Structure 1
Amino acid sequence: MNLTEHLATIDWSFPNLSNSGIHSLHWYPATYVAAIPGTLIPAFTQKNDVILDPFNGSGTTGVEAIRLGRKFIGIDTNPIALLMSEAKLYFPEPKTLKKQIDFIVEESEGLFGRAEVDPHPHHDELKAWYHPDTLFTLNRILTSIIKTDNLQIRKCLLAIFSGILKNASSQGRHWGWVCDNVKPKPFEIISKDALSIFLNAANEYVKLTELSHKAVQVHVEAETRKQTRARYKLLAGDCVTNMKSIKSEYVDFIVTSPPYYGVADYIKSQRLSYLWFDKDELAPERLGFRDFEKLRSFESGARSNRTRKNSHETYMKFIAAFFEQSFRVLKQGSSMALVVGESQARASTTDELIAAAQGQGFTLALRKERDIKLSRRRLMAKVKCEDILIFIKN
């Protein structure tokens, strides 16, 4: 049985598996189960090979690539996606991280009055999402995080903070309500213990990142955190533009999931994070709300763009450019694996995607349908199923 025949026998829906451990650090829409890259990467690559995910998202491919001893390049237009990915891949020193967490808790538990913490610049909008006490505590936590001198530790702490914002809010419904800017009704506003929520999430991150690096050392024995960090690179911005900076035939394998046409809003789903991160002190890190609408305009295939004139044509033009660059950066004889899906309510795209890839010179080696869990289907514009597509650069 050759590799393609073997891959065809796999149940790619992985019905009994879900993302856990460091993969669960921060919620993100339309992610795929880690077992997909975890199965594909060993099948198509060797240690130290270069794995590319041009639509990095929450970093699922990157975590698996680094765990398995490969090098990784991730690209995304969404700074919040890159922030959470950085936290998953950086592996901070536990003592340094714990010391900074203790400092944040100490400052946030301080007995000084409310006037000593400047109100958040978006206080009036945030109070529509949070109880005043919760809002005050979150602002105090963020103010303390921003004081962190070490940039990478600060990013890890910001990722933890970003990850609790939905649960700390009074909007108890699923992410789509936040995505569509549906604020809780006044009678739904309830106080939540933001400091405990943050501290629990921070302690969990310390534990998970330690376990995650131990999982790396299973495949790369005795590798230090510093050595592990040297194996990944995250690039901000449009994938086609960033891929042009990668040398031809440099990449050994591409594993990714292009945005499904008209299905998810990746930028809008992180609305609360962009709102909180719009502070002058964070402007150099480009995490702020001031870029929110601009970033949305760059988001290919977003659900909110589905009614725009020529949106489908624009999406397919972008996909064609993506395949052109993918073919160029891949080594001869190497492969590209895509997880693709489409909404029953939108124009069909999977056959067009295949045709576009073939038009750039790829050969389709495998197309295998995978079912998705009902709970995930409800959140993704009625996506019934997905396909695993494997292409070869002959």
Structure 2
Amino acid sequence: MNITIDNYRTLNFDTIDIQEEWNMTAEREKRMHSIHAYPAKFPAFITTKAIHKAEESDISVKTVADIFCGCGTVAYEAVRNGKHFWGCDINPVATLIAETKSQSYDDEILEEYYNNIISCYNTCVVNKDDEIYKNERIRYWFDDGHIDELLKLKTAICEGVNNEIYRNFFLCAFSNILKPCSRWLTKSIKPQIDPNKEPKNVLVSFKSQVKMMRNANLDNTGNTQGSADINCVNFLDVDISFSFVDLVVTSPPYVTSYEYADLHQLSTLWLGFTNDFRTLREGTIGSLYHADNFNDNINKLNETAQDIVSKMYSIDKRKTRSVAQYYIDMQTTVHKVYKMLRSNGGCLFVIGNTEYKGVKIDNAKHLTECLLKEGFINVEVDRRKISNKILTPYRDANGKFAKIKGSSRKIYSEEFVIFARKK
């Protein structure tokens, strides 16, 4: 549906038709997309559809960007389509996965490095003075035996692989076995211990993970290859001094995006990105760690955001402050996207709505207003089904998907695809 500055305010976005073209396709995703677990993963096919849509709209797409690139789904698909990719994410675990996905590897070299790792592992003696043993969160999630084995494996990877690109491949494999080898409740979206869980064997898990990743890498054979430039940085801090992108394809984080830092805490701690995973919350979109004065924020909000914030204020003042900061950050984001796009460039956002204590958090309408007020033209808004939630529209108290209401919390099963162009 085409949206204009004259009709967006009165439009109920939930009445916009669901467009089948944005629902999951029958084509199977490349195995490289599954090399590492990641929450709220972006559907791979949307990138290719976005590129085709842009090119059909007479946009010459040479450079694709994802400003919240996460685990690199857009990066991989852009490279696979022969495009140059530029992306960033504040989460170092995400950018490690994205960099790993965006590379092609010589399988013979992988085999050689893998054998080096196993050889080093078999002769490695753990250093009991290592800082990892002093970290309370590590000891919370892992028993002593698994800490020993994981430290041996990480040491073997660092000593057995002298090429950074290939070392990251094996560190990515290491990262993805951490949850199975811990007490973390399997398939939970929340950090929660499973008292009945038997953690997996470290070396067996690693061997299986590497085998899967090598097979996934072989899928790349014969694909048209572009190039990728991936940065571990907060997009809000990126200096956009000139236009260098033809198409932005991205999915903004939700209001509670700081939770991603909690979900990746095992990897951030084990890979040495931080000694306290909570520090990674500080720059996230909508985080109160960098919030401006609330009254100042209110005056900067667009009309849609002011409506939502005013409804929330009497319910939960702290949450309202966070939502206000989220909308301020998103308004800044859209302004910077406009600056980074070349003339006649386009952007495609995938974003969902949420609800908080009966107040609808209409992220799609807010983002649409941002685009219109920034000067974007030809703004189109469609709805799509979120395929993995169609049959399980509730979450239970542990954060697992559920099929029945009971005490479960309903989640949205649709999201919005918003496309716009720069003049």
TM range (shorter): 0.7 to 0.9
For each residue in 1:317-375, what CA deviation from the matched residue of structure 2 results, as whole angstroms up to 9, or x when unmatched?
A: 11111111111121222211000002122632221111111111112532111111225
Which whole-Å CA distance do the structure 2 matches of 1:343 and 1:15 have between them? 25
Matches within 5 A, 1:76-225: 76-110=89-123, 120-122=132-134, 125-147=137-159, 148-178=161-191, 182-185=192-195, 188=196, 190-212=198-220, 214-217=221-224
Which whole-Å CA distance do the structure 1 matches of 2:119 and 2:248 have between them? 45
Which structure has the greater CA radius of gyration? 2
Q: Tell me the CA shift for residue 129 of structure 1.
A: 2.0
Which whole-Å CA distance do the structure 2 matches of 1:264 and 1:94 have between them? 37
Aligned pair in 2 of structure 1 residues 25, 376: CA closer, same or farther (>3 Å)? farther
The answer to whether the Cα contact below 8 Å between 2:89 and 2:235 also exists between their aligned partners in 1 is yes
Q: Greater shift after overlay, 118-127 or 79-88?
A: 118-127
Aligned pair in 2 of structure 1 residues 376, 57: CA closer, same or farther (>3 Å)? farther
Partner of 1:272: 266
Aligned pair in 2 of structure 1 residues 205, 215: CA closer, same or farther (>3 Å)? same
Which whole-Å CA distance do the structure 1 matches of 2:110 and 2:239 have between them? 33
SS state at 2:142 partner: coil
Aligned pair in 2 of structure 1 residues 132, 47: CA closer, same or farther (>3 Å)? farther
SS state at 1:326 partner: helix
Q: Tell me the CA shift for residue 124 of structure 1.
A: 5.2
Partner of 1:40: 50
Which whole-Å CA distance do the structure 1 matches of 2:128 and 2:253 have between them? 44
Which whole-Å CA distance do the structure 1 matches of 2:385 and 2:61 have between them? 32
Cα RMSD of the aligned pairs, angstroms, is 3.0
The answer to whether the Cα contact below 8 Å between 2:341 and 2:422 also exists between their aligned partners in 1 is yes
1:68 paired residue among 77, 81, 85: 81
SS state at 2:111 partner: helix
What is the letter of the counterpart of residue 240 of structure 2? K
Aligned pair in 2 of structure 1 residues 67, 121: CA closer, same or farther (>3 Å)? same
So what's the TM-score if we normalise by structure 2? Answer: 0.76
1:369 paired residue among 383, 387, 393: 383
Q: Tell me the CA shift for residue 58 of structure 1.
A: 0.8
What is the letter of the counterpart of residue 385 of structure 1? E
Aligned pair in 2 of structure 1 residues 94, 323: CA closer, same or farther (>3 Å)? same
Q: Greater shift after overlay, 118-127 or 354-363?
A: 118-127
Aligned pair in 2 of structure 1 residues 215, 239: CA closer, same or farther (>3 Å)? farther
Q: Greater shift after overlay, 335-344 or 235-244?
A: 235-244
The answer to whether the Cα contact below 8 Å between 2:258 and 2:284 also exists between their aligned partners in 1 is no
Q: Tell me the CA shift for residue 97 of structure 1.
A: 2.0
2:232 paired residue among 225, 236, 240: 236
For each residue in 1:102-124, what CA deviation from the matched residue of structure 2 results, as whole angstroms up to 9, or x when unmatched?
A: 111122234x7666895734465
What is the letter of the counterpart of residue 283 of structure 2? F
The answer to whether the Cα contact below 8 Å between 1:75 and 1:234 also exists between their aligned partners in 2 is yes
Q: Which has the higher helix share?
A: 1
Which whole-Å CA distance do the structure 1 matches of 2:258 and 2:342 have between them? 32
Q: Tell me the CA shift for residue 96 of structure 1.
A: 2.1
Which whole-Å CA distance do the structure 2 matches of 1:142 and 1:176 have between them? 25
Q: Tell me the CA shift for residue 134 of structure 1.
A: 2.6
Q: Tell me the CA shift for residue 49 of structure 1.
A: 0.3
Which whole-Å CA distance do the structure 2 matches of 1:366 and 1:194 have between them? 49
Partner of 1:348: 362
SS state at 2:417 partner: strand
SS state at 1:107 partner: helix
So what's the TM-score if we normalise by structure 1? Answer: 0.82
Aligned pair in 2 of structure 1 residues 203, 302: CA closer, same or farther (>3 Å)? farther
The answer to whether the Cα contact below 8 Å between 2:247 and 2:341 also exists between their aligned partners in 1 is yes
Aligned pair in 2 of structure 1 residues 10, 334: CA closer, same or farther (>3 Å)? farther
> Between the two proteins, what is the percent identity of the paired residues?
22
SS state at 2:269 partner: helix
Q: Greater shift after overlay, 361-370 or 379-388?
A: 379-388
Gaps of 5+ in 1: 1-6, 221-227, 279-286
The answer to whether the Cα contact below 8 Å between 1:47 and 1:68 also exists between their aligned partners in 2 is no
Q: Does 1:252 align with 2:263?
A: no
For each residue in 1:202-257, what CA deviation from the matched residue of structure 2 results, as whole angstroms up to 9, or x when unmatched?
A: 12212212312x2523xx6xxxxxxx5xx210122111332515x22x21111000
Q: Greater shift after overlay, 192-201 or 373-382?
A: 373-382
The answer to whether the Cα contact below 8 Å between 1:105 and 1:199 also exists between their aligned partners in 2 is no
SS state at 2:380 partner: strand
The answer to whether the Cα contact below 8 Å between 1:66 and 1:216 also exists between their aligned partners in 2 is no
Aligned pair in 2 of structure 1 residues 160, 139: CA closer, same or farther (>3 Å)? same
Aligned pair in 2 of structure 1 residues 275, 244: CA closer, same or farther (>3 Å)? same
Which whole-Å CA distance do the structure 2 matches of 1:67 and 1:82 have between them? 18
The answer to whether the Cα contact below 8 Å between 2:385 and 2:415 also exists between their aligned partners in 1 is yes
